[in-house]
Amino acid sequence: MSERQREQCWVINNEVVEPRPADAPPQEQLVEQHHAFIHDLEEKGVLVGAGPFLDDSGSRFGTGMIIFRCATRAEAEKIANSEPYIANGVRRLKLMPWQRIAGH
């Protein structure tokens, strides 16, 4: 990708819903579904990157971030809302457009 080309991407930067919905699946099940969701994005070739936020000591804080490519907000919302934590109301979606101009 040259410096002048831009690729439309989207960032899922969500937040935990408190209190946790009573009808939400168990955490272990959501973790498995979440990892399957990320691997599916990767297999489809739309995943740019994903991972948790860690502090300087390596301890996790917050939720994490998923960055993926797609052309429109409508398509991005459809993808983001199918992420298992978001789809089950455990996390609240914060979807931000991001234009990638460098990197692989």
Q: What DSSP designation does 62 have? A: S
pTM, two decimal places: 0.90
Average pLDDT, the chain: 94
- 8: its two tokens: 């439309």
CA 79/CA 45 separation, integer angstroms: 13
20-51 residue pLDDT tens: 999 999 999 999 999 999 999 999 999 999 99
Distance CA 10, CA 8 (A): 7
Query: Class of the 7-100 domain?
Result: alpha beta
The answer to whether 1 and 61 have CB atoms below 8 angstroms apart is no
pLDDT score at 51: 96
What amino acid occupies position 52? P
Domain positions in the chain? 7-100
